[in-house]
A and B are shown apart, each in its own frame.
Chain A
Amino acid sequence: MTINHHPSEESIARYAAGRLEAGPALVLSVHLAGCPHCRGLLRTFEAVGGALIEDMPPAEMAEDALEVALARLDADAQRPARRVSAPQQLAPRLGDVELPAALAGCEIGPWRWMGPGFRLSRVRLPGEPDANILLMRISAGRKMPEHGHTGREFTQILSGSFSDSNGRYRAGDLAEEDSETEHQPIVDRESECICLAAVEGRMKLQGFVARMVQPLLGF
């Protein structure tokens, strides 16, 4: 799988710093799982975090901090030592669609019909009520709703492909659009396209149908 479209370095840096909003961070983690190039960048930015930790002036800890820590080891020692692989989790599914493992902890809503050839599912991340995360399933040859956004939009292509003014996006690619972009992706003719998308801030849908569905989506 050749990946041609990547998240911006700035977004990877914010992810490394733990400062990317939960929704975009989830989409980025799906991209990272399949992209060695971006994982390399992530490690570099995480190393920045390591270097910053090393340079921190030590804070004053509670007087008995080390004793507390060692006592916790005693309590912990009763557990068996383990180096076991995490139990093999079944890949999350939505109907006939197999989803990335990163979505395992999410509540995934049913596919909802939003218009001809266009279905959506709302993804909720426990503890992150403000995260706007969507699964989109769009038939071959269909236009996706024209929209702009107040914040950035992150779209990871899970299967199929679409094209917009920036080029063609295939499975494994991540499209990162800033708030200035207004774009209208068109799904390529070969097959339907399934994407995972998250926006920072609120999405502004432009078309008539889009304005109709906006209240349904709760954006």
Chain B
Amino acid sequence: MWKVGRRLPTLYGHPANPDHRLSRRRDAGKKKPGRPLIRGVPGRVTGSMNALEPSAVSVKPVAPRPPRRVVRMSTAPPDEMTLSPEAQVRLVAAIAASADRQAYAILFRHFAPRVKTFLMRSGLPALTAEELAQETLLSVWRKASYFDPGRAGVATWIFTIARNLRIDHLRQQRRRDVQEEDPSEEADAPPTGEAVLITAEREAIVRRALTQLSDEQATVVKLSYFGEKPHSEIASELGIPIGTVKSRIRLAMLRLRALVDDLR
């Protein structure tokens, strides 16, 4: 069953080791692969924050900790910690199963600041971006039981929530009414193990494909996800014709797709 999972890069943790919770990105290459940093009940992330106290973490931080001003409840700076996709899935499951607030706090610290950056780069002012990041994570809490790991990873799920909230927000600026629930949030049949595995693999492949794009192509892909600007503005900013912008986006997307197919 873990045959496929072993191909996941160490950066994203080791699905072969179900005990694995958290990995430190900078240490990814230094420690033994798959060595569990934190022990707990396999398959569940619940209970106390002790699991996150430094004493429970067996790897010393490489760099001095940056001054912490932002998040309080954390015992480690959030950007120093990388949550593996598998750990993320377990955190969402813990919220769904037992309204686990500690699990929520971990997810919040990891994702809220990233969602805020995403929304700011999408052209929203910082204050609105912060509100929508809060809103996104509140949706994670409310919709945790609807999360389907056979369909998307947690980061992808959160991306779609933030994306839809951004669209709704822009719409509500033109109209005050409340939006309908997204029908795609309806409960599905429980995911099969195979679907979960396929999803995890797809997401890992996409991540790898992104790292293999040239800088220019990566920029263009990012622009098409974040660029509030129409192609014409991008064109004048980069000093290239609009046709070139369009063909660059098309080429970058084609290359991304080809990479995804190759890696599959």
- Residues in chain A within 8 A of chain B (CB atoms): 9-10, 13-14, 17-19, 22, 43-44, 46-54, 56-70, 72-73, 76-77, 81, 83-86, 101-102, 104-105, 126-129
Contacts and interface: CB of A to CB of B under 8 A. Distances in A.
A59 B177 contact: no
Given A9-B253, A13-B253, A66-B71, A51 B203 contact: yes
A50 B153 contact: yes
Nearest to A41: B257
B183 interface: yes
Given A47-B156, A83-B187, A52 B113 contact: no
Contact of B155 (A51, A61, A129): A51
Contacts of B180: 104-105
Given A10-B253, A61-B70, A126-B177, A85 B187 contact: yes
Interface stretch (B15-23, B51-59, B72-80): B72-80
Contacts of A83: 145-146, 187
Given A13-B224, A66-B72, A101-B183, 12 more contacts: A43-B202, A51-B207, A54-B155, A56-B113, A60-B70, A61-B113, A62-B130, A65-B130, A69-B137, A73-B141, A83-B146, A86-B181
29 contacts: A9-B257, A10-B250, A13-B253, A22-B171, A43-B152, A48-B206, A48-B221, A50-B154, A50-B158, A50-B206, A52-B210, A52-B222, A54-B207, A56-B118, A57-B114, A59-B113, A59-B130, A60-B69, A61-B71, A62-B130, A63-B69, A63-B70, A65-B134, A66-B105, A69-B104, A72-B138, A81-B145, A86-B186, A129-B174
B242 to A, nearest CB: 12
A50 B222 contact: no
Contact of A127 (B105, B162, B171, B210): B171
B130 A69 contact: no
A101 B101 CA distance: 36
Contacts of A86: 181, 183, 185-186
B133 interface: yes
Contacts of A65: 70-71, 108, 112, 130, 134
Nearest to B176: A127
Contacts of B130: 59, 61-62, 65
Contact of B141 (A22, A46, A49, A76): A76
B197 to A, nearest CB: 14
B44 interface: no
A63 B206 CA distance: 34
B152 A50 contact: yes
Given A56-B118, A83-B145, A69 B187 contact: no
Contacts of B158: 50, 53
A128 B118 contact: no
A50 to B, nearest CB: 3
Given A49-B163, A50-B155, A19 B203 contact: no
B235 interface: no
B38 interface: no
B203 to A, nearest CB: 5
Top 4 nearest A-B pairs (CB, nearest first) are A50-B156, A58-B113, A127-B171, A127-B175
Contacts of A17: 163, 224-225
Nearest to B164: A18
A69 B108 CA distance: 8
A81 B159 contact: no
B93 interface: no
A73 B152 CA distance: 24
